[in-house]
């Protein structure tokens, strides 16, 4: 009986009225997607799509509204549930975006360094009593010329495939995901001395791995603790070719390696009815290395390591009136950066970085609108009231807005 009571209280915490929300909501609460139940969780834990069937969602940003620079209506997608009357209903989701994939190791004198987003596809169902989910991200871009005049010919393309698997075992109290991604490209051009179309660069071992897990501990009064851990490893490798004087040959291999480990402890507090306060505390180790390996010569390495010890996140989602929620969040990171451009040089920097957000949620029946509000608009008001133009030409009422409609 006690166990059933605990699970009932936990379900109220996790799947309450604020569950059908958007990524904008968790950003405005201090970038707390990993410790708050929200529809945006599917991008970390695809098994959670089973909790969010039958909806349409779209994201809109101003020119400076996102870290990646996306603007306008840049992402939209829908979730559809099938087999509702069967013992094994399943959910299919699809998203489309104007945000491309950027491959850092290709950022040199080359046109195809990004790949267009084609689709992010999600699938979810229960395996027995355990929610399971899968997602596929596909990016591709290319340009090819095949004139009869060979010295005009070239071929450039870039493709990326992202696979993410997840389960929510232990009656949904845990979420676990494993991801793997592969990137490949073609980079050919005509070179006169070789008198043919040759490889300018080739991919060399491009792969990313991720592993994430979180656990919703039993409630303690108004509090639920969420320990979480994540591991992300990425490798980007490129072989560069050139003319040796007698032949077109492989000359150097460039490799980018990155590894990020995050240990954190989140806390959800039901401070009052329809008021959620969240905190997160943890450490992040972010190690990045560039390695240049000329053929027949010694390799050179550059290291750039970050240690965030610790980070703090504090946020709130509070009911104001029937149709309005107020949100706010702040992040503080105590960072130590060690930069080693060579064996003889080493620089260390210590800084504290702070970001803050102000947000709001508006609801009309099954329609939800979440926004990150520009603080200048709150303090100054629109121009026709204050008479003061914004210092930033991109500032307005909101820097990011998400729309969601839930249907049966």
Rounded Cα gap, residues 178 and 163, in angstroms: 8
Average pLDDT over residues 143-169: 94
Residue 287 has pLDDT above 70, yes or no: yes
**If pLDDT is split at 50, 70 and 90, which confidence band does 339 have?**
confident
**If pLDDT is split at 50, 70 and 90, which confidence band does 360 have?**
very high
DSSP assignment of 290-321 equals EEEEETTS--EEEEEEEEEEEEEEEEEEEEEE
Q: What is the pLDDT of residues 248-266, one digit of tens each?
A: 999 999 999 999 999 999 9
**If pLDDT is split at 50, 70 and 90, which confidence band does 193 have?**
confident
Q: What is the pLDDT of residues 230-246, one digit of tens each?
A: 999 999 999 999 999 88
**If pLDDT is split at 50, 70 and 90, which confidence band does 5 have?**
very low
pLDDT of residue 148: 86
> Could you give phi then psi for residue 169, rounded to 5 degrees?
-80, -175
Greater pLDDT, 70 or 391: 70
DSSP assignment of 98-134 equals SPPEE-GGG-SS-S--EEEEEEEEEEEEEETTEEEEE
Q: What is the pLDDT of residues 45-98, one digit of tens each?
A: 999 999 999 999 999 987 544 444 467 899 999 999 999 888 899 999 999 999
Greater pLDDT, 1 or 131: 131
Q: Which residue has tokens 């133009």?
A: 389
Q: Which residue has tokens 């987003």?
A: 117
Greater pLDDT, 271 or 394: 271
Greater pLDDT, 149 or 134: 134
Q: What is the pLDDT of residues 265-279, one digit of tens each?
A: 999 999 998 999 999
Token pair, residue 171, equals 């009656």
């Amino acid at each position: 009986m006690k166990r059933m009571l605990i699970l009932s209280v936990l379900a109220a915490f996790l799947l309450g009225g604020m569950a059908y929300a958007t990524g904008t909501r968790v950003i405005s609460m201090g970038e707390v997607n990993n410790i708050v139940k929200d529809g945006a969780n599917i991008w970390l834990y695809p098994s959670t799509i089973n909790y969010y069937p039958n909806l349409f969602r779209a994201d809109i940003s101003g020119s400076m509204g996102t870290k990646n620079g996306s603007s306008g209506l840049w992402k939209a997608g829908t979730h559809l549930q099938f087999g509702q009357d069967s013992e094994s209903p399943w959910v299919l989701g699809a998203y489309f975006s104007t945000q491309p994939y950027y491959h850092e190791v290709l950022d040199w004198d080359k046109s195809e360094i990004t790949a267009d987003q084609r689709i992010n596809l999600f699938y979810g169902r229960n395996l027995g009593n355990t929610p399971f989910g899968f997602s596929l991200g596909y990016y591709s871009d290319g340009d090819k010329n095949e004139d009869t005049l060979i010295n005009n010919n070239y071929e450039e393309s870039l493709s990326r495939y992202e696979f993410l698997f997840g389960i929510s075992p232990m009656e949904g109290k845990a979420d676990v995901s494993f991801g793997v991604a592969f990137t490949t490209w073609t980079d050919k051009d005509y070179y006169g001395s070789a008198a043919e179309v040759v490889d300018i660069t080739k991919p060399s071992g491009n792969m990313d791995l991720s592993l994430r897990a979180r656990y919703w501990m039993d409630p303690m009064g108004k509090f639920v603790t969420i320990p979480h851990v994540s591991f992300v490893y990425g490798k980007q490798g490129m072989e560069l070719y050139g003319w040796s004087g007698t032949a077109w040959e492989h000359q150097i291999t460039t490799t980018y390696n990155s590894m990020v480990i995050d240990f954190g402890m989140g806390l959800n507090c039901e401070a009052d009815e329809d008021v959620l306060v969240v905190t997160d505390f943890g450490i992040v180790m972010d190690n990045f290395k560039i390695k240049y390996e000329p053929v027949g010569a010694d390799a050179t390495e550059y290291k750039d390591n970050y240690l965030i010890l610790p980070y703090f996140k504090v946020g709130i989602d509070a009911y104001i009136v029937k149709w309005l929620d107020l949100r706010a969040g702040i992040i503080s990171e105590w960072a130590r950066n060690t930069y080693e451009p060579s064996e003889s040089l080493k620089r260390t920097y210590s800084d504290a970085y702070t970001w803050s957000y102000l947000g709001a949620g508006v609801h009309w029946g099954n329609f939800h609108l979440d926004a990150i509000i520009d603080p200048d608009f709150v303090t100054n008001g629109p121009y026709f009231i204050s008479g003061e133009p914004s210092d930033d030409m991109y500032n307005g009422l909101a820097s990011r807005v998400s729309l969601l409609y839930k249907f049966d």
